[in-house]
């Protein structure tokens, strides 16, 4: 039996060496495990971490931090994945118009359960809400807005970002892809691009790289990246990931291990706030 305040977890790890530091996410908390056995199921109990030692960020935490970049009067496009969550955390008191490239201006937060309208969806085919004054139009009109640079801020997910600001987010060779969506138009036309992503993949490999290995969506276009570990600016001249903020409970060593590209650590790095 598992005692009160504990949780029993069943995890299967596939590791390449005898000892690996494995990062797993559980109920909003990250857990570090050093494991000597592999290709087996591991059962263990974990003390409840609620209100204790909360480290790194989950996807909602990333979205909350990015929402702080949204300023009054902006027109903002939210890409598929983590970016769609930003709509739930727009700061009160500012007037922002959210655009979805399938043809919405004035998109609101996700609907409450039972209030979904299947005819109102975003570019990721998730049900959404409309704010008062919202408008709906066709894709030609939507991409006319994007290509005419009417969008002030674009928030995209990514599979890889290079230290030069290149982004790969539309295709993994060998896997089925329905299409590139609007990402290529967005990165070619956007005034400001922020990437919302997890810094390592499921194997623990960094996704912040010297050069992208996947097919590119755009080159030298990303300005800022927010991950579960920190906030980074791209050095537009010399290339490199400039660490600006570090997530609560995260160490510089963890940042270094999770960054394959050139990492620049200034003296004025601050702790990230998502409240």
Distance of CA 63 to the CA centre of its chain: 7
Phi-psi region of 96 (alpha: psi -120 to 50; beta: other; left: phi over 0): beta
Which entry of 101, 160, 163, 228 is annotated as an active-site residue?
Answer: 101
Please give the Cα distance from 100 to 142 (Å, whole number): 8
Is 160 catalytic? The answer is: no
Bridge partner list, 7: 46
Torsion of CA 147, 150, 156, 158, to 10 degrees: 30
The string of DSSP letters for 106-163 reads EE-PPPPTT---TT-B-TTS-B--EEEEEEE--HHHHHHHHHTT--SEEEEE-SEEET
Active site residues: 101
């Amino acid at each position: 039996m598992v005692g009160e305040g504990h949780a029993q977890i069943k995890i299967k790890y596939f590791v390449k060496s005898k000892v690996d530091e494995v990062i797993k996410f559980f109920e909003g908390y990250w857990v570090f495990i050093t494991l000597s056995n592999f290709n087996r199921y591991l059962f263990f109990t974990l003390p409840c971490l609620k209100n204790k030692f909360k480290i790194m960020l989950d996807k909602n935490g990333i979205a909350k931090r990015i929402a702080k970049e949204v300023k009054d009067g902006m027109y903002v496009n939210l890409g598929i994945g983590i970016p769609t969550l930003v709509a739930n955390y727009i700061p009160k008191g500012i007037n922002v118009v959210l655009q979805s490239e399938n043809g919405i201006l004035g998109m609101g937060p996700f609907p409450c359960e039972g209030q979904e309208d299947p005819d109102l969806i975003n570019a990721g085919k998730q049900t959404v809400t409309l704010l008062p004054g919202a408008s709906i139009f066709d894709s030609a009109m939507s991409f006319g807005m994007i290509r005419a640079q009417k969008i002030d801020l674009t928030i995209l997910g990514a599979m890889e970002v290079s230290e030069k600001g290149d982004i790969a987010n539309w295709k993994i060779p060998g896997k089925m892809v329905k299409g590139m969506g609007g990402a290529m138009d967005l990165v070619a036309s956007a005034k400001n691009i922020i990437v919302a992503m997890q810094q390592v993949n499921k194997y623990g490999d960094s996704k912040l790289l010297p050069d992208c290995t996947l097919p590119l969506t755009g080159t030298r276009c990303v300005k800022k990246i927010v991950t579960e570990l920190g906030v980074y600016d791209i050095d537009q001249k010399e290339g490199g990931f400039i660490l600006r903020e570090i997530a609560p409970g995260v160490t510089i060593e963890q940042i270094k291990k999770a960054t394959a590209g050139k990492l620049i650590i200034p003296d004025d790095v601050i702790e990230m706030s998502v409240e």
